[in-house]
Structures are given as structure tokens and as C-alpha cells.
Chains A and B, each alone.
Chain A
Amino acid sequence: GAVVSQHPSRVICKSGTSVKIECRSLDFQATTMFWYRQFPKQSLMLMATSNEGSKATYEQGVEKDKFLINHASLTLSTLTVTSAHPEDSSFYICSARDGQSAETQYFGPGTRLLVL
């Protein structure tokens, strides 16, 4: 299957700092990438949908100024958590939709963020 990488896999930061998470599709072009957040023992929560070359579409309740998404190329999307606070600590997972296999989303390994 298609491969999606995510970096970093784990990050610990101080409250008030910004953290950038990268999501790359390694062997396919991803016209659409998705960013999810998952709290312990809960299901995935879609944060935003990112289309290459255009602005991301954010889900209700997700602050676009706090969670900056850039999808500058067909293989790379970034999520920046600005001025992170302890309540932003979570598991952030990206997924990418293969342009040829239009329906299936392939997930990156996730980034565990801990804000102290």
C-alpha cells in the first residue's frame, strides 16, 4: 500500500512555543491530505482538510489561526500548532488520499505532542 511519513514522531515542548509537524506521501501524489487529532481512548477527530495549492478547510471548532496548515506540494503538508498549551497535548495524525485510488486514505504514523 501507499506510504505516508510523519515527522517528528514525538515532541515535547514548553507552553507558548510553536510546533511544526510534517506529513509526506512517499510513493504517490496526494492532492488531498487530512489532519486528525486523537485523544486517549477516543476516535479520530478530523481537524482540517488540506488541498494542494489552496487554503485548508477547517472543521467546526478548530481554530485556523492556532493550527496553521500548509499544503505547498503534492507530497507535503505541514501542521503548525502555534503557541501550544497543555490542552493541545494529543496524538496528531495525518492521512493522504491517493489521487489515483481516489477513496482510500493512508495514514502517517502519527505525532505525539506533549506540551508542558
Chain B
Amino acid sequence: GQNIDQPTEMTATEGAIVQINCTYQTSGFNGLFWYQQHAGEAPTFLSYNVLDGLEEKGRFSSFLSRSKGYSYLLLKELQMKDSASYLCAVTDSNYQLIWGAGTKLIIKP
């Protein structure tokens, strides 16, 4: 079956760095997405990785290793507004988007 695993919840301190991991087992691979979702709101697009390596975009970076079925989202200089759920999603061989359950990130002052 298809499966995406990410931690349910993480806690970090304002100003610090946090890494949210995502592992996947899917039938084929056509890219991995990270989305941010604040409570009560729809997800917003953060990043898309289809090749191995690190993609940096401001305070957020996303890494992909296709051979390991692994990705992480790195958030630097954490701000209180970064408190949200972070969803990992993979596009499989049929271009279907398979969603992880999301990681709730709690930022403490």
C-alpha cells in the first residue's frame, strides 16, 4: 500500500531551528510537496522537490532523498506565526497526491 509517515506533533522554541521528517512508500514517485496549514485555514504551498537535494526558500528549506524515500522540511529562526500543521504529500506514478497526516508544530516563546 501507499504510506506517508511524519511525526504527529513537535515542539520548538522561538528563534530556534526545527526539522520535520517525512518518509514515504508509494507506487512510483513524481514529486514531494510540503504544505503549511494554520488551524481553520486551507493549506498553503511551501515547496516542491522532485530531484534529490536541498531546496532553500528563505527561512524554509526542503530536502529530498528518493533512494531513501525521505524528505525533511527545515524551518530556521522560528517565529510564533510558524505554529501550524505541516503536511507532506507525494505524487505517485498516476500523479495522484498522497497525503501524510500532518505534523503539528508548536512554537514556545
Chain B interface size, under 10 / 10 to 19 / 20 to 34 / 35 or more? 20 to 34
CB-CB under 8 A from A109, the residues of chain B are 41-42
The complex places the Cα of A43 from the Cα of B35 at a distance, in Å, of 12
Q: Is the CB of A103 within 8 A of B45?
A: no
Q: Is the CB of A43 within 8 A of B48?
A: no
- Which residues of B45-78 have CB atoms within 8 Å of chain A's CB atoms? 45, 48, 50
Q: Is the CB of A106 within 8 A of B45?
A: yes
Q: Is the CB of A93 within 8 A of B42?
A: yes
The complex places the Cα of A42 from the Cα of B95 at a distance, in Å, of 23
The complex places the Cα of A106 from the Cα of B35 at a distance, in Å, of 10
Q: Is the CB of A104 within 8 A of B48?
A: yes
Q: Is the CB of B97 within 8 A of A105?
A: yes
Chain A interface size, under 10 / 10 to 19 / 20 to 34 / 35 or more? 10 to 19
CB-CB under 8 A from A110, the residues of chain B are 41-42
The complex places the Cα of A100 from the Cα of B101 at a distance, in Å, of 28
* A89: min CB distance to chain B, Å: 14
* B75: min CB distance to chain A, Å: 19
For A96-111 the 0/1 string (1 means CB < 8 A from B) is 0000000111111110
Our pick among A46, A93, A103, A107 for the contact of B48 (Cβ within 8 Å) is A103
Is A61 positioned at the interface, with any CB of B under 8 Å from its CB?
no
CB-CB under 8 A from A108, the residues of chain B are 42
Q: Is the CB of B45 within 8 A of A44?
A: no
For B19-59 the 0/1 string (1 means CB < 8 A from A) is 00000000000110101000011111100101000000000
Query: With A93-B42, A103-B91 known to touch, is A43 a contact of B99 (CB < 8 Å)?
Result: yes
Nearest first, the 7 A-B pairs at minimum CB distance are A107-B42, A110-B42, A43-B101, A93-B42, A107-B43, A103-B31, A43-B102
Residues of A within 8 A of B (CB): 1, 6, 34, 42-44, 46, 91, 93, 103-110, 112
| Further contacts, 9 of them, CB under 8 A, given A104-B33, A105-B97 | A46-B99, A103-B48, A103-B91, A104-B45, A105-B33, A105-B45, A106-B45, A107-B42, A109-B42
Q: List 18 A-B contacts (CB under 8 A).
A: A6-B42, A34-B97, A42-B101, A43-B101, A46-B97, A46-B99, A103-B31, A103-B48, A103-B50, A104-B33, A105-B33, A105-B45, A106-B45, A108-B42, A109-B41, A109-B42, A110-B41, A112-B40
